[in-house]
Structure formats: structure tokens, C-alpha cells
Structure 1
């Protein structure tokens, strides 16, 4: 029986340390557009003829497909086990989870900038019980208008606007935060995102991973600059 992996950081560790062989079992087009670094593409129907030639049966193999609803990777993992591969892992959340977390990618679309690429990863953070005076000082020091309000696990619970903080008259961040802000994933395309922000009058959005943890803060002005002067990221 293959092991299901749900922790992308474990997959990332295996990739970084070159400990496992990555196999995408999707069709050629989505693979060529974007895939995990170093991943091979072997279709489900090609496993019997290519797996033993392309893969080392003595090393772990991590297979993945589109997302948690796609059944190609568990089927591929099962077949690899039948073909004699003993260390087989199914990255169950799949490529959608990886890209949504803003992790490195390869493929012809790898140089296309997404929200996670242009978000401010150094944006200030605060907590609900932090004194407003301290939050204002932090915003002044960093030159930011917004701060992300997070919990102990870095999960986004709100946004703090400098104007709200300054008008708060003391107290704590929780008194004036903007709860439940709209968030976007790291793989959100820039053009449509900017259009939505303009229509809704949104000035800033947190970019989060699929667990709601903050990746970075994207202010509309920064996004407008990125759309005008396209950003390039390494594949």
C-alpha cells in the first residue's frame, strides 16, 4: 500500500534534498505549462512501459496529479507498487496545493508572475492583543499602510489599516481590525486580480496558502506596478 502525503513541506524537503523521484501523471499540456521542480511526466497508461526504465526502484517515488479530487495519482501509486516499487508516496493535494503555496515551479509558464511572486513578503504583522500605539509605530517604521493580523500559527484573521489604528484612541488591534478580509492564493493571475480589486475598491489583500497562513501582503499600488512592469520569477 502506498503512503499518502498531505504535507507539502515534506514534499518540498524531499525535492530540496534530492531524496525522491517526482512523477506527474497528468497529460502533457498541463505538465509543460507548470510542474514541480525536477518532476518527470509519466502518464497512467505509460507506467508499465516507462516506469522501470525512467525510475530507480531503489529510491522513493512521489506521484502527484492535479488536486485532491483527481484520482490519477492514487491509481499511479497503486500500479507502481504492483510493478515492484516499494517506497511510493501519493502527494494527495497535488499540483494545485503546491502552486497555491507559491513554491518553485518549472515549465513554460514558470516565468509568469502570480500574486505570490509580487506580494510583499516583509509586510508587517500584528496580533489582536497588540497595543494600537505599538502597531502604529511599526507601520511608521516600515512605511506601510496595512498590516496583516495573524494568530500564533500565522493564519490571517484580519487587516489593520493605519488610519483605523491612528483613530483608535489607544486600545488594541482587535478593537479596530477589519475582520475576515478577502484573501487570494499565490497562483492567482495578476490581471484579473487587479480588475477585481479595482471594481471592489479593495486596497490590499493577504496572499495565503491553502491553510490560511500568510505568504505576503499585496497592496493595489504594488499590483498596478507589477502589471505595468511585468515581474519575472525564476522557474
Structure 2
């Protein structure tokens, strides 16, 4: 039967229920970052090690890096040939998990990222709302931006306070900046702040792989967090 493909929510549910998570990338990549509790079993070693290291009575979820990596589907197919009957393939892979800001293990797990410093209490608005109403909320909250989202919190635009003040009689859709730049939660903080400074950008939106709002990185707060992290490391 075909190997079932999972999304990250299904992977987490299976892992919590006792499934075995298996990363089939080379060891160096596994040791850098891997899903919590995952074991390393390189694709080339499946034939020699699967029977010793994996339990046939428990589900097995294999993954590699992302959709373009073919190691996990090949590993899943081979495990089935070796007699494992509950095999699943997390095709979106580790990149999808990390991009959503979900926890990981490994030597780089403690490195600061966009998701670590993102402000989660972000002011949001809808395209049909009057700008003057949103402007009141922005002033009350002391916020310089409002992220425009749909009912699923997918980001569709960005409304800045100075723009709202100049067009208070319009709707959000008429004055918002559509298609704002976004980053994923696992974006390394240092290089991100450098790009923001070079582009003279104060804030950047953080979204998950489905485009849903996770938070907002403020450059000043991010720089303070990065400096604090360096001080602790020293």
C-alpha cells in the first residue's frame, strides 16, 4: 500500500502517541538540528541498522529536509520492503517544522531566531475595516503597524500608522501595502537584523509556512536580545 504522507500536526500527534521519528539525512545535519526525540538513521544504513534500531510494532515517521529532498520517500519505501508495516513520510520535512517555530534539538537549537524574539501580541485588522477605527486601536495600543489578515490569520497586507493618519477616511484595503515581506520563524536573528538595518526596515512580519501570522520582529528589540545572548555566551 502507498506510504501515507503527513503534515507536521499529524507528525506531532503520532510522536506524542509513541511513534518513532527518524531523520535520514547525513549525521552532520542531524546533529545540527533535528526534531525532538528523533533518531538518526542515514538512508544508506537502513538495510544494516533498521532491524536493530527500530521497533516493528511501533509506527515509523521518516523525514529529511524539505519537499525537494527525496531521501524520506526512498527511506519509507525501503522500510516497507524490509517488512515495516506502519511507515509514514513527513514530506515537508525539517524545514517545514523549523519554519513554523516548533521546538528542535541539536547544537544549533539555542541559536536566536526570528521566532524567538517575535512579538506575539500583534495588532491585526481586516481589509474592509475603516482606517479611522483601526487608527484608534493603533494609538491606544501604541503600535506603529497593523498586520492585515484574513479569517485564518493569513497575512495579506500591512498598514503603517503614518499612512493611516494620512488617509483616515479610507478603508484598510485602499491604503494598506499588499504583499509585505515576511520571514519564517527559524530565520537566524543576526543576519536578519543586518538585512533589516541595511534596508532601513524597523519591523518585519513572521509567518508560518502557510502564511499565517506568528508575530512581528522589531529591529531594536531584536538587537537588544542578540546583544544579551552574546553577553550570556561570553
Structure 1 length as normaliser, TM-score?
0.92
**Structure 2: distance between partners of 1:102 and 1:195:** 21
On the 8 A contact 2:135/2:168 being kept in 1, the answer is: no
Deviation at 1:191, TM superposition (A): 1.4
Cα distance per residue 1:120-177 (max 9 Å; x no partner): 1111111111222321232233322112111122111111112222222233211221
**Where in structure 1 are there 5+ consecutive unaligned residues?**
none
Tell me how far 1:100 sits from its aligned partner: 1.0
Corresponding residue of 1:177 = 176
Tell me what 1:66 maps to. Answer: 65
Matches within 5 A, 1:5-84: 5=6, 7-15=7-15, 17-84=16-83
Report what 2:155 is aligned to: 156
Matched pairs, number: 229
In the TM superposition, residue 105 of structure 1 has moved relative to its aligned partner by: 0.4
Q: Specify the alignment match of 2:134 in structure 1.
A: 135
Match of 1:144 in 2: 143
| Range that drifts further, 139-148 or 178-187 | 139-148
Q: Which runs of 5+ in 2 are unaligned?
A: none
Query: Over aligned residues, Cα RMSD in angstroms?
Result: 1.5
- Alignment correspondent of 1:192: 191
- CA shift for structure 1 position 68: 0.9
Look up the match of 1:108: 107
Aligned to 2:5: 4
Q: Distance in 2 between matches of 1:176 and 1:230?
A: 38
1:218 is matched with: 217
* Cα distance between partner residues in 1 of 2:142 and 2:51: 56
* 1:186-221 deviation digits (Å, cap 9, x = unpaired): 111111111111111212111111221111111222
In 2: Cα distance, 1:178 partner to 1:36 partner: 36
Preserved contact between residue 128 and residue 172 of structure 2 (Cα < 8 Å): yes
Alpha-carbon distance between aligned partners in 1 of 2:18 and 2:142, rounded to the nearest angstrom: 42
- TM-score using structure 2 length: 0.92
User: Secondary structure at the residue paired with 2:111?
Assistant: coil
Displacement of 1:75 after TM fit?
0.8
Aligned to 1:208: 207
Mapped partners of 2:17, 2:224: distance in 1: 37
1:150 and 1:169 mapped to 2: Cα distance?
A: 19
